[in-house]
Chain A
Amino acid sequence: MQQTNKLTPFFENLNFERDDNVMVINFGPQHPSAHGQLRLILELNGEQVVKATPDIGYLHRGIEKMAENMTYNEFLPTTDRLDYIASTSNNYAYALAVEKLLDIEAPRRAQVIRTMLLELNRIISHLFFVATHALDVGAMSVFLYAFREREYAMDLMEDYCGARLTHSAVRIGGVPLDLPDNWLTNLAIFCDKLDHEVVHTYGALLNENRIWKMRLEDVGVISAEDALSWGCTGPMLRGSNVNWDIRKEEPYELYSELDFDIPTSDRCDSYGRFMMYMEEMKQSTRILRQLIPMYKGTNPQLMAHAPQYISAPKEEIMTQNYALMQHFVLVTQGMRPPKGEVYVPTESPKGELGFYIKSEGEPYAYRLKCRAPSFFHTGLLQKLLIGTYLADVVTIIGTTNIVFGEVDR
């Protein structure tokens, strides 16, 4: 059936037929250290990169288009597929944007649970970063140790919501479930374990490791001005000595009540960013420890009371006629937020994850734009890779911590 002339084999990865003797290398889209579907067209002079052109879109699923064709609640599980390493961050960013649009606030217990889940997701994501980054650079054993702790964190997520990767653990207006028995005890044990491992395993293996430092130090240097101009956020921006964390500056949920530090690095290179990720994990466990006593004594209400937008709790739906009617309308037609537009930024593990929602008063968003941090960090590769050596390309891709679910959307 297949015509041979249309799919004849050819050596697409190398092209020597150039006047200026620049070698063009096609890096990806199926390269193991491309962190997904990144295709980089690298022009090399010897081993030095002269020009880098990131080519993305291999994982484009039209999530923004889907948002225009789904009601607000229907779309929430789709946000899992953005940054699939830390799904709850996406769920939460979206839910928060819709809540701002509706002008509702989640009850206290839901806020505590949400903040816990967000920080747990930050740890999961950062562990994944340390593991894969080390693996890319060549430190195999760190990958195994970091994935072991990540497994414990994912077990906690699984205990809470039943899923390990696509959590959908946050709802618009609150959270669907209360914490299971012993969850807080397990969380405290996990925090102790992680704190120990960060210092005594990953830290001991990497922090002062000669090879690790040689591969990371002064690689991928980006100045504060450039980082701002290229739209870098999160660890990429703080790694360039800009003290900017949305959790501190524009606090949401319980972050204004919590005591934590924002690590920054003035090294501006990959090693500085790596050290910051390690420090951020310690800060996350510090936040989680503060949240555990906050949970006790909260009112058991989990979803905000806003009958126009949010269904009543299950017991009410099953016993009260009016709650059932509301629920029926909300399920079949969807909630109708007021007309208006909102942009809500949140600090996801990778950077500023924001949702812009334009509502025309319909149950379907008129336009939803997901501001994904990795998208802009991929754009930065055009600048960051120039002048570096081919071996450092992998380090730099690793240090930007891009996830293609949210680059391509």
Chain B
Amino acid sequence: MRKYTPKDNVQGKSYYTDRYWVAPRIPRSKVEEGTHFEVVVDALGELSKESYVEIGQLIIHIDPKTNLETLTILKETCGYTQCSEQSAVDYLAKDGEFELFYQLLNITEALRVRVVCRIKDGEAIESVNSLYKSALFAEREVFDMFGIKINNHPFLKRILMPDDWEGHPLLKTYPMIGDEFASWYEVDKIFGKEYRDVIGPENRDQSRIERYDTKRFSRVGYEVPFNADISEGEKENPIEYSETVLVNYNKNSSKQLDERR
């Protein structure tokens, strides 16, 4: 029987987990009275759905529709003048949702707040670039990596991946070694799809040996002319490579690709 692998999360997994093992949780403490964090929670009032302190930082859960409103209050009245980071976490497999967070910094109090909200798959969120200009780049990265649409962003374009890329790499459904599109990206773009058979799949096995290839590899101490035949009549032994890194999409039916073309 083939080993079962869930399709909605293809990331690395532990090969063995004790069946009675329960992961402990980092303690969350209530917001203490008289602290700066209490002032923040009071200022937000109804906007904060849940708030607690985890490892020295205040975490506020909000409704995604009120993100701009919340951050405006945090910036204007509570002094959180810098948005250090914003990104998302993929919970599509478990809850069908993304978790977005804004990591804010108050430099006068030297305190940090994380504003967390959850949006459903396919929903968009309002851009905060009117408050924090750092959002211009950070939100593009969120869009690029997760495919989350950002409303009212002036230049919502892929940032790290090429513009004509398909798929969003940080989704849990996106495999680490890339999908079919990724494996043929350069070949399709430079030579055309019909050259896939000529060029063949990329072999990413680290133990790959190309003994007789004098085009791309030089032999230190035994230099030969470019592209010289050094096999001396020896037949090439087929080497078995790891199947985990070598996926020949041409062998199997290429349904995914035909749909896209």
Contact = CB atoms under 8 A, between A and B. Distances in A.
Interface of A: 1-3, 6-7, 56-57, 60, 62, 64-66, 68-71, 100-101, 103, 225-226, 228-231, 233, 242, 244, 249-250, 332-334, 336, 338-343, 345, 352, 354, 356, 358, 360-364, 366-367, 369, 371, 375-376, 378-379, 382-383, 408-409
A243 B84 CA distance: 16
Contacts of A371: 84-85, 103
Contacts of B141: 375
Contacts of A379: 133-134, 136-137
B54 A340 contact: yes
Contacts of A250: 110
A70 B12 contact: yes
A7 B192 CA distance: 11
A191 B85 CA distance: 35
B220 interface: no
B196 to A, nearest CB: 13
Contacts of A230: 133-134
A339 B83 CA distance: 25
Contacts of A383: 133
A228 B26 contact: no
B170 A343 contact: no
Interface string B93-113: 000000001010001001010
Contacts of B137: 231, 375-376, 378-379
Contacts of B55: 100-101, 340, 342
Contacts of B15: 332-333
Interface in B36-66: 54-55, 57, 59
A140 B15 CA distance: 55
A70 B14 CA distance: 10
Given A231-B134, A354-B84, A371-B103, A364 B160 contact: no
List 7 A-B pairs, minimum CB-CB distance, nearest first: A361-B23, A231-B134, A340-B26, A379-B137, A69-B12, A57-B160, A249-B110
A379 B153 CA distance: 14
B130 to A, nearest CB: 10
B179 interface: no
B42 to A, nearest CB: 23
Given A57-B160, A62-B169, A356 B198 contact: no
Given A57-B161, A336-B21, A339-B23, 18 more contacts: A3-B191, A57-B158, A62-B176, A64-B170, A65-B176, A68-B172, A69-B176, A229-B134, A231-B83, A231-B132, A242-B107, A333-B14, A339-B24, A343-B112, A356-B85, A364-B12, A364-B14, A371-B85
Looking at chain B's contact residues, the main secondary structure is loop
Contacts of B145: 64
B167 to A, nearest CB: 12
A81 B34 CA distance: 43
A160 to B, nearest CB: 28
A353 to B, nearest CB: 11
28 contacts: A2-B190, A6-B190, A60-B161, A65-B174, A68-B11, A69-B12, A103-B26, A228-B81, A230-B133, A231-B82, A231-B137, A332-B15, A336-B21, A338-B26, A339-B25, A341-B26, A345-B84, A345-B112, A354-B85, A354-B103, A360-B23, A361-B23, A363-B14, A364-B14, A366-B89, A371-B103, A375-B141, A376-B138
A103 B111 CA distance: 20
B222 interface: no
A360 to B, nearest CB: 7
Interface residues of B, number: 53
Given A101-B26, A371-B84, A375-B137, A356 B103 contact: yes
Interface string B1-26: 00000000001111110000101111
Chain B CB within 10 Å — which of A71, A360, A375 has the most? Answer: A375
Interface of B: 11-16, 21, 23-26, 54-55, 57, 59, 81-85, 87, 89-90, 101, 103, 107, 110, 112, 114, 131-134, 136-138, 141, 145, 158-162, 169-170, 172, 174, 176, 190-192, 195, 198
A231 B133 contact: yes
Nearest to A54: B137
Contacts of A378: 137
Contacts of A334: 14
A316 B27 CA distance: 32
Contacts of B83: 231
B14 A2 contact: no
A231 B25 CA distance: 31
A408 to B, nearest CB: 6
B134 A338 contact: no
Nearest to A100: B55
B107 A6 contact: no
A392 B194 CA distance: 47
Nearest to A53: B155
A3 B192 contact: yes
B6 to A, nearest CB: 14
B231 to A, nearest CB: 22
Contacts of A360: 23
Contact of B170 (A7, A65, A363): A65
Contacts of A244: 107
A64 B162 CA distance: 17
B190 A7 contact: yes
A75 to B, nearest CB: 10
A71 B132 CA distance: 34
Nearest to A68: B11
Contacts of A242: 107
Contact of A364 (B11, B87, B101): B11
B81 A358 contact: no
A376 B23 contact: no
Nearest to A360: B23
A338 B162 contact: no
